[in-house]
C-alpha cells in the first residue's frame, strides 16, 4: 500500500493536496517519515473522512493542509491558490478560509480568557466578514452551535463540560466564515451520547454554513456516519479512497478490510481480523520498502517488497493502492 499516485484526484476540487510529504527529525539524526507522498482532494460541500490507526499520518496530513506543519514537499492548493508557496501575512490571510478543530476541547481553549473573547478572536484579528455588527454575529453563531443564552460568553472554559467546550471551539472556528473545516478527532474525547450531539450538530452546520470538511478519526463508525468520501491511510500512505457507502460495502485494500474486521461487534461480511492482519506496526523511521503494509499482509508477494503500488480504480470512484486487490 504504498499509495502514491493521483488517479483519484478530481477536476473540480476546492482543496487539493498533491504528493504531500512531511518528515520530522527523529532521534540520532534519523528521519521520521510521517506522511510520504499523499494526495487527496475535497469538492466544495463534501466531507472527506480520513481513517487509520496511530502513526498513519492522518493528523499530520490535516496539519500540513493548514500549514501548521510546513510540508517537506508537495503542494496544497485552495481555490487554485498554492498555500505551500505563501509566507507571513499572505499565509495568515489565506489560512483564515480554513479552520481546524482538535481532539481535546478543553486544551483547545485558553483557560484564562472568557468564552466571548475566545469566540470573538477571529473578528478581532480580521474584522467582521459580513459587516454585520460583531455582537450580533457572535450571538448568531453561539445560537447555531447550541450555546445561545445570556451569560455563556462571560464564563470561562473550565465552567463547561467537554461537549460544550467542543461547541465553543466550533463557534470560534465558524466566526470567520471559513470554507474548509479540518476536524481532527473532534469527538474522540467525548462520551457517546455527547458524541452524537456533536456529530448531528456538524451535519447541520455543514448545510447552514456551506462547509467543506476534512474529518480525521480513528473511529470507523463515526467516519461512516459523517463522510461522503473516505480515505484509508497506513504508515504515511494512502491505501484506499472511495465513496463512503461503497468503501464500507466493499472494502478492497487488505488493510481496510483488517480495520473494518477489527471493529468490535460489527456485522459485516468479513473474516476475523486475526486472518487479515498480523504482527506489529513498523517504525516510521525505517518503513518497509515497496508496499508499506506488506509486512503484515496475508497476501504479500515478492513484488510487494520491490514495487510500490499506485492508486488505481477498481470500480467507478473507488481507488486502491494494492498489487493484489483481486485476491481478497
User: Which C-beta is closer to another protein: that of 7 or that of 285?
Assistant: 285
259 vs 101: CA distance, rounded Å: 25
Among 92, 148, 149, 159, contact with another protein (rule: CB under 8 A): 92
**By the rule CB under 8 A, 135 interacts with another protein:** no
- Binding-residue total with another protein (CB under 8 A): 69
Q: Which of these, 173, 229, 157, 161, lies nearest to 205 by C-alpha position? A: 173
| Beta-strand pair 15-25/180-184 | unpaired
Q: How many CA atoms lie within 13 A of 71 on its CB side?
A: 30
User: Which x/- pattern over 235-274 shows residues binding another protein (rule: CB under 8 A)?
Assistant: ---------xx--x---------xx-xxxxxxxx----xx
SS3 (DSSP) at 126: helix
Among 82, 93, 303, 312, contact with another protein (rule: CB under 8 A): 93
Q: Which residue carries 492508486 as its cell?
A: 311
101 vs 174: CA distance, rounded Å: 10
In the region spanning residues 158 to 177, those forming contacts with another protein, defined by CB under 8 A, are 161, 163, 169, 172-173, 176
Q: Which residues pair with 318 in a beta bridge?
A: 242, 315
The stretch among 34-42, 199-207, 208-216, 300-308 that binds another protein (CB under 8 A) is 199-207
**By the rule CB under 8 A, 140 interacts with another protein:** no
User: Which x/- pattern over 97-126 shows residues binding another protein (rule: CB under 8 A)?
Assistant: -xxx-xxx--xxxxxxx-------xx--xx
User: Which C-beta is closer to another protein: that of 5 or that of 284?
Assistant: 284
User: Which C-beta is closer to another protein: that of 5 or that of 178?
Assistant: 178
What is the side-by-side strand order in the sheet with 31-42? Answer: 31-42, 15-25, 73-78, 81-82
Q: How far is the CB of 213 from another protein (least distance, A)?
A: 12
Among 72, 75, 86, 96, contact with another protein (rule: CB under 8 A): 96
58 vs 237: CA distance, rounded Å: 9
SS3 (DSSP) at 311: coil
User: Which C-beta is closer to another protein: that of 14 or that of 95?
Assistant: 95
Burial 89-127 (b: 16+ CB within 10 A, else e): eeeeebbbbbbbbbbebeebbeeeeebeebbbebbeeee
281 vs 278: CA distance, rounded Å: 9
Q: How far is the CB of 307 from another protein (least distance, A)?
A: 25
Q: How far is CA 139 from the centre of its chain?
A: 29
User: Which x/- pattern over 51-90 shows residues binding another protein (rule: CB under 8 A)?
Assistant: --xx--------x--x-x----------------------
Interacting residue ranges for another protein, rule: CB under 8 A: 53-54, 63, 66, 68, 92-93, 95-96, 98-100, 102-104, 107-113, 121-122, 125-126, 161, 163, 169, 172-173, 176, 191-193, 195-197, 199-200, 203, 218-222, 224-228, 244-245, 248, 258-259, 261-268, 273-274, 277, 280-281
Amino acid at each position: 500500500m504504498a499509495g502514491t499516485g493521483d488517479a483519484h484526484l478530481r477536476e473540480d476540487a476546492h482543496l487539493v493536496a498533491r504528493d504531500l510529504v512531511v518528515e520530522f527529525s527523529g532521534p540520532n539524526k534519523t528521519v521520521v517519515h510521517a506522511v510520504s507522498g499523499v494526495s487527496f482532494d475535497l469538492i466544495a460541500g463534501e466531507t472527506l473522512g480520513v481513517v487509520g490507526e496511530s502513526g498513519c499520518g492522518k493528523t499530520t496530513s490535516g496539519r500540513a493542509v493548514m500549514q501548521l506543519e510546513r510540508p517537506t514537499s508537495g503542494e496544497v492548493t485552495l481555490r487554485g491558490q498554492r498555500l505551500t508557496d505563501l509566507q507571513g501575512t499572505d499565509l495568515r490571510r489565506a489560512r483564515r478560509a480554513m479552520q481546524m478543530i482538535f481532539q481535546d476541547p478543553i486544551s483547545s481553549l485558553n483557560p484564562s480568557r472568557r468564552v466571548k473573547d475566545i469566540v470573538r478572536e477571529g473578528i478581532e484579528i480580521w474584522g467582521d466578514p459580513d459587516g454585520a455588527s460583531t455582537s450580533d454575529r457572535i450571538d448568531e453563531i453561539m445560537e447555531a452551535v447550541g450555546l445561545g443564552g445570556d451569560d455563556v460568553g462571560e464564563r470561562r472554559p473550565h465552567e463547561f463540560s467537554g461537549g460544550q467546550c467542543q461547541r465553543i471551539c466550533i463557534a470560534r472556528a465558524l466566526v470567520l466564515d471559513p470554507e474548509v473545516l479540518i476536524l481532527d478527532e473532534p469527538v474522540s474525547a467525548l462520551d457517546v451520547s455527547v458524541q452524537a450531539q456533536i456529530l448531528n450538530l456538524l451535519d447541520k452546520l455543514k448545510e447552514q454554513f456551506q462547509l467543506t470538511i476534512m474529518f480525521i478519526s480513528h473511529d470507523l463508525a463515526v467516519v461512516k456516519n459523517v463522510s461522503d468520501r473516505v480515505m484509508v491511510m497506513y504508515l504515511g500512505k494512502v491505501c484506499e479512497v472511495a465513496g463512503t457507502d461503497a468503501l464500507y460495502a466493499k472494502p478492497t485494500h487488505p488493510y481496510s478490510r483488517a480495520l473494518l474486521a477489527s471493529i468490535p461487534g460489527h456485522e459485516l461480511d468479513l473474516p476475523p481480523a486475526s486472518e487479515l492482519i498480523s504482527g506489529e506496526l513498523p517504525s516510521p523511521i525505517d518503513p518497509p520498502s515497496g508496499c508499506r503494509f506488506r509486512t503484515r499482509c496475508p497476501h504479500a508477494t515478492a513484488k510487494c517488497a520491490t514495487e510500490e503500488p499506485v492508486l488505481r480504480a477498481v470500480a467507478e470512484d473507488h481507488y486502491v493502492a494494492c498489487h493484489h486487490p483481486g485476491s481478497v
